[in-house]
A = this chain, B = another copy of it.
Amino acid sequence: MSIDTLLERRYRVLGRNSPLFYERPLHIVRGEGVWLWDHEGRRYLDAYNNVPHVGHCHPHVVQAVARQAAILNTHTRYLHEGIVEYAERLTATFDPSLSMLMLACTGSEANELALRIANVTTGNTGVICTNFAYHGNTKAVAQISTVFPPPEGFGPHIRAIPPPDTYRGLHGLTGAALEDAYVGEVRAAIESLSANGSGVAAMLICTMFSSEGLPNVPPGFVRRAVELVRKAGGLYIADEVQGGFGRTGRHMWGHEHFGVVPDLVTLGKPMGNGHPISGVVSRADLVQEFSGKTMYFNTFGGNPVSCAAANAVLDVLEREHLRENARAVGDYLLAGLGRLAGQHPIVGDIRGRGMFFAVELVRDRQTREPAGDDAKRVINAMRDRGVLISRIGPHDNILKIRPPMPFRSEHADLLLATLDEVLAGL
């Protein structure tokens, strides 16, 4: 079937606004490891998708899902060893204070649940988030997904602060003064939420500040912000949908980078390698208090098949040393991006943490004027040359490179060569 015919049929049943990548959408029919194939048999290097965390269609995960689906797929109102084993194994990778797990199906549901727990246990409603963030699509979570301002408008309990960013900064400040300024934004948000009666239930942040453009964060910012939030009676919710499961290479969880243990951690995308599973890892006292006050049950959350998928993902991460690979290949690719920056003046900044990279394009290195149109041209040209990436950030000028974890140095070489060629042709 031609792309045009499929697209027309899709418009009719899904509508014209259901988002699609690229100016010429891709019709993908097969995946394996870090590779995708389209309907004409053309191969693409996947340097974008983090859901297939351990690689597209990893046989160990596929087999685990197929095997468990044929045996039993019920819910957590019956006892099952799968969920208990997974919860024990997963919580063992966190600080001992984060000892309980509640399972759901999507990152939106995980953030919903964490916000409800914070709301009910603190008695406050106020939430501090960042501008240009994305945390999900439900009504409550859309309020903190500031990158797409909700058509319902923002409630009086929401305060979005500028994402901490040493490249673009704030008021022309740098160094310690810049960190102080960002901390000052948190202080002002707390004061404002206290003044209007919301109080502070939580600060919820992505531990990569991914949609915000993967900025480098002033070193003391998160620690100082969390101190202020806790002093005001609020909780620190770390959204690990992007930063978790070894993505950062140095750590299993993105929040470890900042040296502060969260009260609640939310997990999503990579957890089941594409199988819909998400979760909230929490302090035990918060789970007990919340679930003592209301019945929380998630029909599909923690079913035996989901837990088989999630357990298999942990197996592969360990057996194939994918966190270590993210560190090694991450360093290798970042060095390569550094060389490209030396050759192409349009590259204003490069940043990376493990297997996640940002290449910020600017019209002028002095003024740092964002080059959003060029970023768009680059991702479409990369797609045409068989390498899949995307773009992020407040100005849509930052190339987003976030491959599946089994990305090796030869894949990095192909990515770098293609990007070099595309940047040269701008």
Nearest B residue to A76 via CB reads B18
CB nearest neighbor in B for A281: B13
Q: Quick check: is A391 within 8 A (CB to CB) of the other chain? A: no
B296 A137 Cβ-Cβ under 8 A: yes
On whether the beta carbons of A138 and B138 are closer than 8 Å, the reply is: yes
CB-defined contacts of A1 to chain B, threshold 8 Å: 81
Scan residues 303-341 of chain A and give those whose CB is less than 8 A from a CB of chain B.
303, 305-306
Q: Taking the complex as formed, is A88 at the interface, i.e. its CB lies under 8 A from any CB of chain B?
A: yes
A148 close to chain B: CB less than 8 A: yes
> Is A83 in contact with B14, judged by CB distance below 8 angstroms?
yes
Q: Which residues on the B side are within 8 Å of A83 (C-beta)?
A: 10, 14
- Interchain CA distance A69-B51 in the complex, whole Å: 13
> With the chains together, A258 CA to B324 CA distance in Å?
60
Cβ A15 vs Cβ B78 within 8 A: no
Query: A100: CB under 8 A from chain B?
Result: yes
Partner of A28, one of B14, B80, B104: B80
For residue A396, CB closer than 8 A to chain B, the reply is no
Contact present for A269 and B56 (CB under 8 Å)? no
Residue contact A17 to B299, C-beta cutoff 8 Å: no
Q: Which of A272-303 contact B (CB under 8 A)?
A: 273-277, 284, 287-288, 290-303
A62 and B72 contact, CB distance less than 8 A: no
Establish whether residues B151 and A139, one from each chain, have CB atoms under 8 Å apart when the complex forms.
no
CB-defined contacts of A295 to chain B, threshold 8 Å: 17, 19, 148
Rounded to whole Å, the gap between the CB of A355 and the closest CB of chain B is 18
Would A139 and B115 be within 8 Å (CB), given that A57-B73, A79-B7, A109-B106 are in contact?
yes
Q: How far is the CA of A84 from the CA of B6 in the complex (A)?
A: 8
Enumerate chain B residues within 8 angstroms of A31, measured Cβ to Cβ. 71-74
Nearest CB of chain B from residue A115's CB, rounded to whole Å: 7
A268 nearest CB across to chain B (Å): 7
A298 to chain B, nearest CB (A): 6
Complex contacts, A181 vs chain B, CB 8 Å: none
Closest to A125 in B: B152
**CB <8 Å contact, A112 and B88:** no
**A152 close to B73 (CB less than 8 A):** no
Q: Please indicate the chain B residues that have their CB under 8 angstroms from the CB of A49 in the complex.
A: 74
- Contact present for A28 and B72 (CB under 8 Å): yes
Using known A-B contacts A13-B101, A139-B140, A300-B106, determine if residue A79 contacts B28 with beta carbons closer than 8 Å. yes
- Are the CB atoms of B274 and A305 closer together than 8 Å? yes
Check B13 against A99 for contact (C-beta < 8 Å). yes
- A292 to chain B: closest CB distance in Å? 6
B15→A288 contact, CB < 8 A: yes
Contact (A276, B276) CB under 8 Å given A66-B65, A79-B25, A105-B300 = yes
Cβ < 8 Å to B, chain A residues 80-94: 80-81, 83-84, 87-88, 91
Q: CB distance A84 to B13 under 8 Å?
A: yes
| A344 located at the interface, meaning its Cβ lies under 8 Å from any Cβ of chain B in the complex | no
> What mask results when residues 97 to 113 of chain A are scored 1 for a CB within 8 Å of chain B, else 0?
00111101111110011
Q: Check: A20 CB closer than 8 A to any chain B CB.
A: yes
11 pairs, A vs B, C-beta closer than 8 Å = A6-B81, A7-B79, A9-B84, A12-B88, A13-B101, A14-B83, A19-B297, A28-B72, A57-B70, A107-B299, A142-B294
